[in-house]
Amino acid sequence: MEGNYNKILEKVGKISGIEHDELERRVEAKRAKLSGLISKEGALQVIAAELGISFDHEKLKINELLPGMRKVNFTGQVVTIYPIREYTTKSGDVGKVANMIVADDTSNIKVVLWDTNHIQLLESGNVKEGVSIEIASGSMRDNEVHLGSFSEFSVSSEVFSNIQTEKQIKKKTIDEFSPGDTVKTRAFIVQAFDPRFYEANVETGKKITEEELANGVPSEKKAILNVVIDDGTDTIRAVMFHENVQKIGLTEYDNSELMTEQRQGLIGKEFYFIGPIKRNSYMNNYELAVNSVEEVETDKLLLELE
C-alpha cells in the first residue's frame, strides 16, 4: 500500500476515532459501489469528506497531494519554468497561462498558473528557477496543481537542501493505480490491437509535415500499439510508441502477415511496464502511457519476491 494512502488513513483515523480496519472496509465498499472506478486514495478522500474531515487548511508535502484535492497548501522550490503561452477564449479575449515544475524533499509536481498577477511574478523575475515559493488554495486536476484568482502564490524563505527533481516511480498493482501516478508494474499482455503507423522526421522524431515531405526531408515509419495488460488484480489499456513497440517484439512493419504473427505472439508475454497514468479524453478512461518496457528476468524476480 502506498505511503500517501497510509498517511491519509492515519490522519482520518486519528481525527475520526475509527479503527484502520473499519476505514479500509469502507474504502473497499466505496470502490465496489463505484465499480472500481475510483482509487483507494480517492475513495478515502470521499469517506473523509462524508465524515466532515477536510485537509483544506493543512500544509502538505508534494507526495501527499492527490487528484481531486481542493485548496491544497504546500511549499517547494521552482525547478523548471516553461515559456508563458497566450490563448484566445471563445469570446475573443486573450489570456495567459504559465507552467512550471515545483519540487520538495519528497517529490515534484507541475503547477499551472492562470491568474495574471501570479504570472506577473514570473515575468518580473521575482519567481525564477531555484526560488522557493508558497502556494495556498491550489486545486488538484489529475496530478497537476492549478492556481486561479482565489489561490495564493508568493515567494517563500523556506530552504530545500535535497529536492527530488526526478519523477517518483511507484511500484504498484493495477488496482492501486491513481491518475497522475508514474508507475512500474509487472503484467501480462492479454490483448494486442492492430498497430497504427505514421511517418516521422528522422532528425526530430516528430510526425512529419506536408511541407517537410515536399522538401525531401528524410522520414521513417513508426508505430503506435495499444495493448491490454493484466496483473491479476485488474486490467488497463497501455499505449506504446515505436521504440517500445520494437522492444517487445513487433518489428515487421512492412510485412502484414509477419506483423500479425508477431502481434498474436505477444499474448501471454510478461513485462515490466513503466510510465504515467493519463486520461484518454477521447475514450473517457485512464490508460498507461508506456515510457519504457523491461524484460522480466527470472533470477531478479525471485530476489525481488524474497
Q: Which candidate, 83, 132, 82, places its Cα nearest to that of 110?
A: 82
Q: Is the pLDDT of residue 167 over 60?
A: yes
HEC letters along 125-145: CCCCCCCEEEEEEEEEECCEE
Residues 6+ apart with CB under 8 A from 113: 97, 98, 99, 100, 119, 122, 147, 153
Do 239 and 289 form a contact (C-beta atoms < 8 A)? yes
Q: Which CATH superfamily is domain 169-305 in?
A: Nucleic acid-binding proteins (2.40.50.140)
The label of the residue with cell 506504446 reads 240
- For residue 1, the model assigns a pLDDT of 38
Query: What are 281's three cell numbers?
Result: 479524453
The pairs formed by 92-98 with CB atoms below 8 angstroms and a separation of 24 or more are: 98/122
Per-residue pLDDT tens over the stretch 88-105: 877 888 889 999 999 999
Say whether 96 sits in a helix, a strand or coil: strand
Q: How far apart are CA 20 and CA 303, in angstroms?
A: 31
Domain boundaries, the chain: 1-54, 56-166, 169-305
Same fold: 56-166 with 169-305: yes
Query: pLDDT-based confidence at 36, cuts 50/70/90?
Result: low
Task: Say how many residues make up the chain.
Answer: 306
Angle at 258 between CA 253 and CA 259, to 5 degrees: 45
Specify the pLDDT at position 134: 96
Among 230, 225, 94, 217, residue whose Cα is nearest residue 174: 230
More confident residue, 193 or 71: 193
Is the per-residue pLDDT at 3 higher than 60? no
pLDDT band at 6 (very low <50, low <70, confident <90, very high): confident
* pLDDT for the residue numbered 37: 62
Assigned CATH class of 56-166 = mainly beta
**Whole-number percent of the chain with pLDDT over 70:** 92
Q: Examine the pLDDT at 122 and tell me if it is beyond 90.
A: yes
Grouping H, G, I as helix, E, B as strand and the rest as coil, residue 47 is helix
**What's the Cα-to-Cα distance from 6 to each of 23, 32, 55, 172, 213, rounded to whole Å?**
11, 20, 15, 14, 54
Question: Taking all residues of the chain, what is their mean pLDDT, rounded to a whole number?
Answer: 86
Model pLDDT for residues 213-264, shown as the tens digit of each residue: 888 888 888 999 999 999 998 999 999 998 899 999 999 888 889 999 999 9
**Which pLDDT score is estimated for 102?**
96
CB 60 within 8 A of CB 134: no
Grid cell, residue 115, equals 491568474
Question: How far is the C-alpha of 239 from the C-alpha of 283, rounded, in Å?
Answer: 13
pTM strictly above 0.75: no
Residue 290 has pLDDT above 60, yes or no: yes
